[in-house]
Structure 1
């Protein structure tokens, strides 16, 4: 993975629509206060960022309330979240490995309309094919960025969260190959 071009390309896209991206993420975060909408909003954030990164069109706020893939997103969040939590309790390393393997699973649900199991398998395969440590570095950069944003009285997250999501979207797009539901497995 070419980190310099990934970062500079993300920065260029982010600056181009900074206000829209901040508002898109802020509305998404506010909608997540209604727990029932969390899976819908998370998938909508991914769809909006994918469309922006691919086509350059502004994310549409209506994406946040589309219920496409609601059940698959909910299952991914519950099953994946529990597995990662258990892994983190078992000496941290297994949880970190699962986090890296599944970091793109929600993108596969939103982008390719895969089931949660297929998405977890596709994400794991993409991470393994692209080099585990490359994707670990992306996740580490995201954690540091959001930690810095949160450390600035929480207001920095208004900038770091949408930038981080766009960075992760670009990492997904840079890494994706022809991974289909038929050729992925956990």
Structure 2
């Protein structure tokens, strides 16, 4: 069965983006500035992804400052970046198909890390979720939406500022649609520095 909710999910993504446009765009700018320095880039992106997930669950507005306030995510962000990035990059070099398969297999891993799991647990749980589904085509279609957003991001710097938040929101909604809503009382405590 194909995922018939992709169009609805993208509309929800757009609505969430419009409701949080200031926080998401400023957060994306923080991530882009951090990417110029390379070292903080995965940490800033994971922080903004975590903030997006929490806000999509709670209904509160996205705070762009969350992109640099969560100090406890630094090692996990680099762990997931290296654990996924190197094998996926090698997979894409080996005739593209292995890279796509690994991307599908670990589709939810960044969200699981943002949800408080360790890197190893996130990778194995993402694989378990993928294997439990009989309609892998829905994963591919959702991955394709993210790939198109990534392709548009490559056009100009302005496109990156718009597509990065859309990508994070879409990824968060894919995750919550797949795993179901989680009660806010079960969310891990996050350190917020004011």
TM range (shorter): 0.7 to 0.9
Alpha-carbon contact 1:40-1:68 (below 8 Å) kept: no
Divergent runs of 4+, >4 A: none
Confirm or deny that 1:137 pairs with 2:141: yes
CA contact (8 A) 2:47 2:73 kept: no
Q: Does 1:101 align with 2:111?
A: no
Which residue number corresponds to residue 187 of structure 2? Answer: none
Q: How much does 1:154 deviate? A: 3.3
Equivalent residues of 1:28, 1:41 under 8 A apart:
yes
1:6 equivalent in alignment to 2:2: no
In structure 1, distance between residues paired with 2:105 and 2:64: 29
CA distance in 1, matches of 2:49, 2:145: 19
Shift of 1:149: 4.2
Between 1 and 2, higher relative CO (CA 8 Å, sep ≥ 6) is seen in: 2
The alpha-carbon deviation at position 84 of structure 1 amounts to 1.0
Give aligned pairs, total: 176
Name the residue aligned to 2:74.
Answer: 70
Per-residue deviation, 1:44: 0.2
Runs of 5+ consecutive residues of structure 2 not aligned to the other structure? 182-194
Q: Secondary structure at the match of 2:154?
A: helix
1:165-184 aligned within 5 A: 165-176=168-179
Q: Distance in 1 between matches of 2:75 and 2:161?
A: 28
- Displacement after TM superposition at 1:8 (Å): 1.6
1:109-165 Cα deviation digits (max 9, x unpaired):
121x222111011112223334322122112112212323433x3322222221121
Q: Distance in 1 between matches of 2:88 and 2:147?
A: 16
**Cα distance, 1:62–1:149 mapped onto 2, change above 3 Å:** closer
**1:4 shift after superposition:** 2.4
Q: CA RMSD in A?
A: 2.0
In the alignment, structure 1 segments of 5+ residues that lack a partner are: 179-186
Residue 18 of structure 2 corresponds to residue 15 of structure 1: yes
